C-alpha cells in the first residue's frame, strides 16, 4: 500500500487575508512604538517611560495603526498582495494619502495639539515596516505555490476553464501537474500546456509518483461511483480534494455561473449562505447610520453640485427610475441626473457604458466621483436599498438578462446596494459577457456576505471615490 502523501503548506483565501491583516497590524504597532520611542527620548527614557505613556500620550495616537490599515484596504485583494510591484505602488500611495491627511489635520488643529515628531516618525516607519512584512508574505505565498502540486480530475469544459484561468495567474497559488480523464480519446493529449495522463484509475498512482498534494475535481456531468470512491481514497491518504467551483471562487472572488449544477442556488443560498439574525440586524444598523451620514454630506455638497449642473444642462437636477429591490419588489430610486434630457427618447432601456455619449460634462464628473449616487441614501434610509449589495437594476433589463444568463434572478435574493462587490471589482457592464462577470461577483457576495466583508467594500468604495476611478 502506498504511503500517505505529505500535506503541503496550504492557506485558503480567507486565511491568507487574516494573515495579511495580522502582519499589517503588527507592522503598524511596531511603527507606533518607533514613534513613541523617539518622542520620549527627550526625557530620561528608562525612568519615566510608563508615566510618559500614561500622562502625555493622547488616546487618539493609539488608533494611528487602524487609520494606516484603512488606507491599505485595496491591498487585501490577494492578487494585488501577491505582486511586489503592485504592493510597492499601493503602500506608496497609502503613505502619500496618510501624509496629506496628517498635514490637513496638523494645520487645522490648535498649536501644540499634534506632536509632529511622533506622528511624522509613524508615517515614515509604517510604510517601511509594512513593505518588509509584505515582502515576507510574498515569499511565503510563492513558497506555498511551489509546495502545492495539483492533479485535476476532468478535462471537459470545467477543466479547460480552470486551465485558462490558471495560465493568467502570476505568481500561481499552486502548480497544476496535469489532468486525468476517463475519456480514452483524451489520454495522452494536452491543452493549455497540461498533459492528460489517463483515467481516474491512475489517480492514486500518479499522486504518489508526482508528489501531488491537491486534487481538483472538474468533472462535467455525472460522476461515476468508482470515481467517487477513488476520490474518497485520495482524501484518506491526506490529499486535499476540492471542487473546481471552490477553486474558481478562491482565485477570482467570483462564482462560475456557467459551471454550476441546476440546484446550486438551493444548496448555496438556502443551505449554506442563509444570513443570520445578527448579520441582518448589524447590516440594517450600518445602513441607518451610513445613510444619515451620507445625507448630511449630500446636504453640504448639494448647493455647489446644483450650480454646476444648472450651468451645464439646466433642470431637472434629480431623476427617479423604477428599479427592482429584494424579491423583485418595485421601488423608485433617486439619483442626480447625469445624462442629457430624454436620453432614452425611444423608450428602450439601455445600460450605461464606458464613455457613454449621453452623459453630460458635469455628469461625467459625478459618475466618476460617484457623487450622483448620494441621493440614494434616502432609499437606504427607507429600507428599499442597502449601502452594500448588488446594483439595483431596471425591471426591463432583469427580464431580458434572466433569459440569457443563468442564475441572474438570484441576485434579487438580497437588497440592492449603493456599492457592492461587483462595483468595486469590475467596471461598466455594456455587454452580456460583462453582465455575466458582474453577476459572478454579485453571487459571490451573496454567498459570502458578512459584516466584515461589508466594511471592506465600504472602505474600498471610499478609495474608489478618492481616486475618481468610477465604476
If you write DSSP's letter for every residue of 400-466 in order, what string do you get? HHHHHSTTGGGGGGS--EEE-HHHHH-----SHHHHHHHHHHHHHHHHH--HHHHHHHHHHHHHHHH
More confident: 266 or 299: 299
Q: Over the stretch 79-110, which tens digit does the pLDDT of each residue have? A: 889 889 999 999 999 999 888 888 887 777 66
Task: Using the predicted structure, report yes or no on whether residue 182 has a pLDDT greater than 80.
Answer: yes
Task: Using the predicted structure, report yes or no on whether residue 265 has a pLDDT greater than 80.
Answer: no
Q: Per-residue DSSP letters for 95-147? A: HHHHHHHHHHHHHHSPTTSS-HHHHHHHHHHHHHHHHHHHHHHHHHHHHHHHH
Q: Over the stretch 331-352, which tens digit does the pLDDT of each residue have? A: 999 999 988 877 665 656 666 6
Q: Over the stretch 294-316, which tens digit does the pLDDT of each residue have? A: 999 999 999 999 999 999 888 89
| Per-residue pLDDT, 41 | 53
Residues 6+ apart with CB under 8 A from 84: 134, 135, 138
| Per-residue pLDDT, 260 | 82
Q: What does the pLDDT average to over 449-461?
A: 89
User: What is the distance, to the nearest Å, from the Cα of residue 412 to the centroid of all Cα atoms in its chain?
Assistant: 20
Q: What does the pLDDT average to over 30-49?
A: 66
pLDDT band at 460 (very low <50, low <70, confident <90, very high): confident
Q: Over the stretch 418-433, which tens digit does the pLDDT of each residue have? A: 999 999 998 878 889 9
**Which stretch of 38-52, 372-386, 409-423 has the lowest confidence by average pLDDT?**
38-52
| Per-residue pLDDT, 5 | 46
Whether 13 contacts 78, CB under 8 Å: yes
User: What is the distance, to the nearest Å, from the Cα of residue 53 to the centroid of all Cα atoms in its chain?
Assistant: 38
Q: What does the pLDDT average to over 229-252?
A: 92
Taking the domains of the chain in order of start, what are their residue ranges? 13-145, 148-252, 277-342+349-466
Q: What does the pLDDT average to over 236-244?
A: 92
Task: Using the predicted structure, report yes or no on whether residue 52 has a pLDDT greater than 90.
Answer: no
Q: What does the pLDDT average to over 171-188?
A: 90
pLDDT band at 354 (very low <50, low <70, confident <90, very high): low
Q: How buried is 335 (Cβ within 10 angstroms: 0-12 exposed, 13-18 middle, 19+ buried)? A: middle
Number of residues that this document lists for the chain = 471
Beta bridge partners of 243: 217
Other CB atoms within 10 A of residue 203 CB: 22
Q: Which residues of 138-162 are buried (b: 16+ CB within 10 A; e: fewer)?
A: beebeebbebbbbbbbbbbebbbbb
| Per-residue pLDDT, 103 | 82
**Which stretch of 54-63, 153-162, 360-369 has the lowest confidence by average pLDDT?**
54-63
| Per-residue pLDDT, 467 | 58
Q: What does the pLDDT average to over 277-302?
A: 94
Whether 70 contacts 29, CB under 8 Å: no
Longest dimension (CA), the chain: 81
- Cα-based torsion angle of the residue sequence 389, 390, 392, 395 in order, rounded to the nearest 10 degrees: -140
Other CB atoms within 10 A of residue 58 CB: 10
pLDDT band at 411 (very low <50, low <70, confident <90, very high): very high
User: What is the distance, to the nearest Å, from the Cα of residue 377 to the centroid of all Cα atoms in its chain?
Assistant: 22
Residue 398 zone, left/alpha/beta (φ > 0; ψ -120 to 50; rest): alpha
| Per-residue pLDDT, 4 | 47
Task: Using the predicted structure, report yes or no on whether residue 252 has a pLDDT greater than 50.
Answer: yes
Angle subtended by helix axes 277-313 and 451-466, to nearest 10: 20
Q: What does the pLDDT average to over 6-33?
A: 82
CA distance 216 to 178: 11
Whether 180 contacts 153, CB under 8 Å: yes
The grid coordinates listed for 403 are 433569459
Q: What does the pLDDT average to over 150-174?
A: 91
User: What is the distance, to the nearest Å, from the Cα of residue 330 to the centroid of all Cα atoms in its chain?
Assistant: 28
CATH number attached to the domain at 148-252: 3.40.50.720
CA distance 399 to 418: 21
Q: Over the stretch 113-131, which tens digit does the pLDDT of each residue have? A: 566 777 888 899 999 999 9
- What Cα–Cα distance (Å) separates residue 211 from each residue in 63, 80, 136? 47, 29, 26
Residue 114 zone, left/alpha/beta (φ > 0; ψ -120 to 50; rest): beta
As a whole number, the mean pLDDT across the chain is 85
Angle subtended by helix axes 157-166 and 244-252, to nearest 10: 30
Task: Using the predicted structure, report yes or no on whether residue 437 has a pLDDT greater than 60.
Answer: yes
Q: Which residues of 166-180 are buried (b: 16+ CB within 10 A; e: fewer)?
A: beeeeebbbbbbbbb
More confident: 192 or 115: 192
Q: What does the pLDDT average to over 70-85?
A: 88
**Percent of the chain at pLDDT exceeding 70:** 86
Q: Whose grid coordinates read 429584494? A: 326
| Per-residue pLDDT, 47 | 47
pLDDT band at 13 (very low <50, low <70, confident <90, very high): confident
Give, for 150, the enclosing helix (H) or strand (E). Answer: strand 149-153
Task: Using the predicted structure, report yes or no on whether residue 31 has a pLDDT greater than 80.
Answer: yes
Amino acid at each position: 500500500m502506498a504511503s500517505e502523501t505529505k500535506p503541503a503548506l496550504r492557506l485558503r483565501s480567507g486565511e491568507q487575508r487574516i494573515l495579511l491583516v495580522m502582519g499589517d497590524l503588527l507592522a503598524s504597532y511596531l511603527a507606533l512604538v518607533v514613534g513613541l520611542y523617539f518622542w520620549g527620548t527627550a526625557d530620561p527614557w528608562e525612568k519615566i517611560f510608563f508615566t510618559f505613556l500614561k500622562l502625555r500620550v493622547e488616546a487618539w495616537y493609539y488608533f494611528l495603526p487602524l487609520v494606516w490599515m484603512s488606507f491599505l484596504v485595496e491591498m487585501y485583494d490577494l492578487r494585488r498582495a501577491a505582486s511586489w510591484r503592485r504592493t510597492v505602488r499601493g503602500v506608496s500611495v497609502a503613505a502619500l494619502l496618510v501624509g496629506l491627511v496628517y498635514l490637513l489635520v496638523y494645520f487645522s488643529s490648535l498649536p501644540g495639539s499634534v506632536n509632529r515628531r511622533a506622528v511624522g516618525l509613524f508615517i515614515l516607519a509604517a510604510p517601511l515596516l509594512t513593505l518588509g512584512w509584505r515582502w515576507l508574505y510574498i515569499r511565503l505565498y510563492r513558497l506555498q505555490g511551489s509546495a502545492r502540486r495539483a492533479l485535476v480530475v476532468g478535462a471537459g469544459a470545467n477543466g479547460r476553464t480552470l486551465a485558462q484561468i490558471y495560465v493568467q495567474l502570476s505568481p500561481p497559488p499552486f502548480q497544476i501537474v496535469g489532468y486525468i480523464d476517463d475519456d480514452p480519446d483524451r489520454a495522452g493529449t494536452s491543452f493549455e500546456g497540461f498533459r492528460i495522463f489517463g483515467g481516474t484509475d491512475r489517480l492514486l498512482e500518479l499522486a504518489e509518483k508526482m508528489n501531488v498534494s491537491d486534487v481538483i475535481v472538474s468533472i462535467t456531468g455525472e460522476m461515476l461511483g468508482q470515481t467517487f470512491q477513488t476520490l474518497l481514497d485520495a482524501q484518506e491518504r491526506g490529499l486535499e480534494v476540492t471542487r473546481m467551483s471552490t477553486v474558481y471562487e478562491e482565485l477570482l472572488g467570483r462564482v462560475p455561473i456557467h459551471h454550476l449544477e441546476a440546484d446550486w442556488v438551493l444548496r448555496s443560498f438556502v443551505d449554506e449562505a442563509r444570513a443570520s439574525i445578527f448579520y441582518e440586524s448589524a447590516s440594517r444598523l450600518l445602513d441607518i447610520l451610513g445613510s444619515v451620514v451620507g445625507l448630511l454630506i449630500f446636504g453640504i455638497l448639494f448647493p455647489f453640485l446644483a450650480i454646476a449642473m444648472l450651468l451645464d444642462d439646466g433642470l431637472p437636477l434629480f431623476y427617479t427610475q423604477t428599479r427592482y429591490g429584494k424579491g423583485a419588489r418595485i421601488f423608485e430610486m433617486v439619483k442626480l441626473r447625469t445624462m442629457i434630457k430624454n436620453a432614452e427618447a425611444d423608450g428602450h432601456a439601455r445600460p450605461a457604458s464606458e464613455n457613454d455619449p449621453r452623459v453630460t460634462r458635469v455628469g461625467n464628473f459625478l459618475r466618476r466621483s460617484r457623487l450622483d449616487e448620494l441621493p440614494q441614501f434616502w432609499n437606504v434610509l427607507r429600507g428599499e436599498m442597502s449601502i452594500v449589495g448588488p446594483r439595483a437594476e431596471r425591471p426591463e433589463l432583469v427580464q431580458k438578462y434572466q433569459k440569457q444568463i443563468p442564475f441572474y434572478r438570484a441576485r434579487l435574493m438580497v437588497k440592492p446596494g449603493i456599492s457592492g462587490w461587483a462595483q468595486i471589482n469590475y467596471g461598466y457592464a455594456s455587454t452580456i459577457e460583462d453582465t455575466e462577470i458582474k453577476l459572478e461577483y454579485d453571487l459571490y457576495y451573496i454567498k459570502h456576505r458578512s459584516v466584515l466583508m461589508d466594511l471592506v467594500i465600504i472602505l474600498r468604495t471610499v478609495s474608489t471615490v478618492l481616486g475618481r476611478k468610477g465604476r
